[in-house]
């Protein structure tokens, strides 16, 4: 038995706990989108139900679910509110790092904290810099502690979190740093200006002489070379978001059509729901949602095997990364056309601001440009043709987060 094998909570029990919460979250999705209201209340509901502790072993107060079970719920959460799984993306990667860490008091402390509702956000990317070897955020020694200084963007989920995982340069070494979100010197801004995924709290974070204890420095940091589970895992969260968007788009469109009583004079049926062309669109939307969900869960099954084995087998890490990369291209090519096709079922009334059906395409389009698909397609082809290494990225505190 590996260190992360554990008693698992059944899917039926998970659905009983989280199903009503997801329905409650979905109820005001359009209003949140219209008002640009960050989902603090909704995060609080998830926190109270220990959603962030899904992968934490039962003996530490969590649910002990498999990776597949986690991603099944992430898809359903995305169908309720697509911003929330993206906001929690780095949090769940941080949980995995604790599960993979060597047994000890620090590991147990973090697992119990996560079970109690602790959430972790991120502040990795810097505005105008790009490459990880050019970070301007620095960690410098000051007496018995360190000081963090710098500005980050795409700080997804940090406004919802207790801790912020930041990437910094320490004397030429890239390191990961775990910072209290409410620490003195931390300033966060909801200034993400993308046309989709507006409620992910992906704006600017400023660090000004933020004190950092030695045990909050997590290891080599973002950009450390070599295969890691983190790249495929973090990408799969984005694909779960796309699958959830497709699921909600199909449901919203189907419900709208079912209630509609006015069609076109040249339609094949008096009611839109009886029109074979409209039925065809609903069928395609349903197929897109099914395909995206099945693809995400297939990769999640591979991640289960990799993580249960300790995420040390390089061949297995490469295989799951290749699977996630292929899945990215397939899911994007399935979901994006579907979220545009949905508008074919109605006339001008389907573009009503009150419906906000455009949010499905905007959110899907926004998610799809994370890790651009054209670059991923090229990397897959180069790997298959020439044996070139796939591009990997660091996972949150991978080598020693629980020291």
CATH of the domain at 138: 2.40.110.10
What does the pLDDT read at residue 322? 98
Residue 70 confidence (pLDDT): 98
Same domain, 114 and 129: no
Is the same domain home to 246 and 183?
no
Same domain? For 114 and 151 the reply is: no
What three-state secondary structure class fits 342?
helix
Residue 315 is predicted with a pLDDT of: 97
Residue 144 lies in a domain: yes
Domain range for residue 324? 229-386
- Listing DSSP states for 216-282 in one string gives GEEES-TT--S--HHHHHHHHHHHHHHHHHHHHHHHHHHHHHHH-----TTSSSSSGGG-HHHHHHH
Query: Do 138 and 190 fall into the same domain?
Result: yes
pLDDT at 397 over 50: no
**Residue 403 pLDDT grade (very low, low, confident, very high; cuts 50, 70, 90):** very low
**How many whole angstroms separate alpha carbon 274 and alpha carbon 126?**
52
Structural domain count, the chain: 3
Degrees (nearest 5) of the Cα angle 207, 208, 209?
Answer: 115
Helix (H) or strand (E) holding 164: strand 163-170
Residues 312 and 333 occupy one common structural domain: yes
- Model confidence at 221, pLDDT cuts 50, 70, 90, reads low
Say which CATH number the domain at 114 has.
1.10.540.10
- Tell me, rounded to whole angstroms, the distance of Cα 403 from its chain centroid: 25
Shared-domain flag, residues 241 and 215 = no
132 and 62 in a common domain: no
- Predicted confidence (pLDDT) per residue in 266-283, tens digit: 888 889 899 999 999 999
Do 134 and 67 sit in the same domain of this protein? no
Residue 4, pLDDT above cutoff 80:
no
Compute the radius of gyration of the chain from its Cα atoms: 22
Q: In the predicted model, what is the mean pLDDT of residues 237-259?
A: 97
Average pLDDT, the chain: 92
> Which pairing describes strands 173-180 and 120-123: parallel, antiparallel, or unpaired?
unpaired
Q: Are residues 102 and 147 in the same domain?
A: no
71 and 128 in a single domain? The answer is no
Asked if the structure places residue 165 within a domain, the reply is yes
DSSP 50-72: TGGGTTS-GGGTS----HHHHHH
- On whether residue 49 sits in a domain, the answer given is yes
Q: Is residue 63 domain-resident?
A: yes
Residue with tokens 């990667």: 93
- In a shared domain, residues 244 and 172: no
User: How far, in whole angstroms, is CA 203 from its chain's centroid?
Assistant: 16
- For tokens 């996972």, name the residue: 395
CATH code for the domain in which residue 253 is found: 1.20.140.10
Segment holding 315, helix H or strand E: helix 314-341
Please report whether residue 19 resides in a domain: yes
pLDDT in tens, 104-117: 999 999 999 999 99
**What are the tens digits of pLDDT across the range 161-209?**
999 999 999 988 888 899 999 999 999 999 999 999 999 999 999 999 9
pLDDT the model gives residue 365? 98
User: Looking at the domain assignment, is residue 321 inside a domain?
Assistant: yes
Instruction: Find where tokens 């694909």 sit.
Output: 239
* 402, part of any domain: no
Burial of 374: CB neighbours in 10 Å, binned 0-12, 13-18, 19+: exposed
Residue 5 pLDDT = 47
CA 54 from chain centre, in angstroms, equals 14
Do both 259 and 328 map to the same domain?
Answer: yes
Q: Mean pLDDT, to the nearest integer, of 386-402?
A: 63
- Decide which of 63, 86, 118 is a domain's last residue: 118
- End-of-domain residue from the set 63, 96, 118: 118
> How many other C-beta atoms are found inside a 10 Å radius of the C-beta of residue 2?
11
Domain end call among 118, 149, 169:
118
Residue 403 lies in a domain: no
| Angle in degrees, 0-180, between the axes of helices 105-115 and 89-100, rounded to the nearest 10 | 150
- Separation CA 281–CA 343 (nearest Å): 9
């Amino acid at each position: 038995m590996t260190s992360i094998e554990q008693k698992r909570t059944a899917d039926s029990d998970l659905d009983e706990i989280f199903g009503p919460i997801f329905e409650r979250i979905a109820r005001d999705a359009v209003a949140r989108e219209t008002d640009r209201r960050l989902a603090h209340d909704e995060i609080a509901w998830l926190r109270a139900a220990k959603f962030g502790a899904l992968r934490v072993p039962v003996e530490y107060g969590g649910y002990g679910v498999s990776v597949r079970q986690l991603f099944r719920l992430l898809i359903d959460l995305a169908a309720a509110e697509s911003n929330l799984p993206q906001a929690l993306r780095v949090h769940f990667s941080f949980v995995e790092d604790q599960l993979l860490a060597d047994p000890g008091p620090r590991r147990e402390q973090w697992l119990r904290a996560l079970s109690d509702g602790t959430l972790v956000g991120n502040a990795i990317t810097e505005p105008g810099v790009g490459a990880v070897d050019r970070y301007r955020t620095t960690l410098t020694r000051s007496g018995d502690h360190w000081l963090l200084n710098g500005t980050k963007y795409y700080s997804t989920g940090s406004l919802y979190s207790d801790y912020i995982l930041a990437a910094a340069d320490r004397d030429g070494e890239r390191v990961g740093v775990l910072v209290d979100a409410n620490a003195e010197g931390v300033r966060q801004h909801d200034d993400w200006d993308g046309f989709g995924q507006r409620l992910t709290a992906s704006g600017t974070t400023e660090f000004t002489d933020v004190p950092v204890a030695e045990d909050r420095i997590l290891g080599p940091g973002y950009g450390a070379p070599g295969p890691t589970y983190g790249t495929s895992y973090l990408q799969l969260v984005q694909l779960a978001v796309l699958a959830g968007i497709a699921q909600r788009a199909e449901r919203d469109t189907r419900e709208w059509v079912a209630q509609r009583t006015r069609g076109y004079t040249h339609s094949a049926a008096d009611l839109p729901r009886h029109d074979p062309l409209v039925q065809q669109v609903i069928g395609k939307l349903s197929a897109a949602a099914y395909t995206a969900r099945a693809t995400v869960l297939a990769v999640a099954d591979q991640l289960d095997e990799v993580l249960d084995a300790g995420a040390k087998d390089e061949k297995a890490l490469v295989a799951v990364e290749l699977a996630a990369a292929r899945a990215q291209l397939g899911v994007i090519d399935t979901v994006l056309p579907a979220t545009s096709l949905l508008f074919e079922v109605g006339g001008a009334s389907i573009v009503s601001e009150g419906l906000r059906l455009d949010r499905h395409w905007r959110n899907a389009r926004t998610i799809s440009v994370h890790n651009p698909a054209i670059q991923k397609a090229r990397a897959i082809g180069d790997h298959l043709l020439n044996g070139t290494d796939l591009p990997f990225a660091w996972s949150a505190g991978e080598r020693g987060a629980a020291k």
